[in-house]
A = this chain, B = another copy of it.
């Protein structure tokens, strides 16, 4: 086990004593440092009654006496548990710590009650071969509904796979539905994937995803800010979502009901100035209602292809190819020529003058342009005048080759 500094031990102890995201504790740590902050907590000095009481309750639960060296004791326990399950613990002092997480300091508390616990993690538990900071340099979170539809599963899988192919790390929450499908897609695409969990790193939650979670621990990275043994709670999922948003360059929602937690991830991404992307779906699908509500907000980008996600979050110049349909007559003709062509009949040949009158152009314009339409293969010239070619598609294909 690597030797822990006093600072690291204090941060780990603080993570045990206080629920993640606590702004009061974060500010204290930033002001006096983690060692002194822990001292304040234990001595119930210079902190709110609520924070003091919460720490006291946790100390009691942990069976640690205040007279003992709380930091060393708790940190030692956590380090042992981490080693036992093959996890490592990092703090802001480590190389592996992603600076992006510290942007959460700037995420100010808003009117919403759920936005209260937005302070950065004090430390995180990691399991897996990837280096945390490095793998996030080119990363995107793909999140969404647990009750995914076949459509959402298709999209999550395609996006996970495609983003992996493009060299992006796919970050998600290992939840049922969109999350796990995106992870699976990324693994299938041979790309790195990171699961940010809302429970202890020793828990495989949800149990149905235990297999994938184990695969991520082997090939990707499991991340959590809760100490080993912590159960997932509803409010913890929301607190966890801020890390998914902060860790990545942008967040993509694939499917989301009107009350989906994925919307909170997108909300944090917006708050942090990350790219916010949403996949649309049928308007009569309950699992796209939340997506459409988000798309009606300014600043949210609708995405339909991996290329469009890459265009949003990738480097300069990674632009999505425009979608083009098949080449049509109007692509090679100007509006005058298109009008003349419209006036040429399929079987019955007509003079240039007649065609001009029907098209509403001058006889001169018709006489000038009809030979070009013949040359392009749209029109056939006969003894009686001009009629439509029966194989205009060949003409367009020929034009494509130019």
Give chain A's interface residues, CB within 8 Å of chain B. 18-19, 49-54, 56-58, 60-61, 113-114, 116-117, 151, 154-155, 231, 233-236, 257-259, 279-284, 288-289, 292-293, 295-296, 301-302, 304-305, 308, 323-325, 328, 330, 334-335, 338-339, 342-343, 353-354, 356-366
Contacts and interface: CB of A to CB of B under 8 A. Distances in A.
B56 A363 contact: yes
6 contacts: A19-B339, A53-B365, A54-B356, A56-B363, A61-B354, A296-B308
A324 B365 contact: no
Given A50-B364, A236-B342, 11 more contacts: A18-B360, A50-B361, A53-B365, A54-B356, A57-B366, A113-B334, A116-B335, A234-B342, A280-B283, A280-B292, A280-B302
A304 B328 contact: no
Contacts of A279: 283
Contacts of A151: 282, 284
Contact of A323 (B57, B114, B258, B282): B258
B233 A335 contact: no
Contact of A357 (B60, B154, B342): B60
A239 B236 CA distance: 57
Contacts of A58: 357, 360
A323 B357 contact: no
B292 A53 contact: no
A147 B51 CA distance: 63
A233 B328 CA distance: 15
A235 B54 contact: no
A338 B304 contact: no
Contacts of A117: 335
Given A113-B335, A258-B325, A353 B57 contact: yes
Contact of A304 (B49, B283, B301, B359): B283
* Interface secondary structure of A, over-half rule: helix
A362 B283 contact: no
Given A258-B325, A325-B257, A342 B57 contact: no
Number of copies of this kind of chain in the complex: 2
A114 B151 CA distance: 36
A41 B364 CA distance: 16
Nearest to A237: B342
A328 B259 contact: yes
Nearest to A48: B362
Contacts of A113: 330, 334-335, 338
B302 A49 contact: no
Contact of A235 (B51, B259, B281, B335): B335
A235 B363 contact: no
B295 A280 contact: yes
A345 B302 CA distance: 41
Nearest to A363: B57
Given A302-B280, A343-B233, A363-B56, A323 B154 contact: no
A335 B304 CA distance: 35
A330 B53 CA distance: 23
Contacts of A56: 362-363
A12 to B, nearest CB: 15
For A155, A323, A328, A366, the residue with the greatest tally of chain B CB atoms inside 10 Å of its CB is A323
A142 to B, nearest CB: 14
Contact of A339 (B235, B302, B357): B235
A293 B354 contact: no
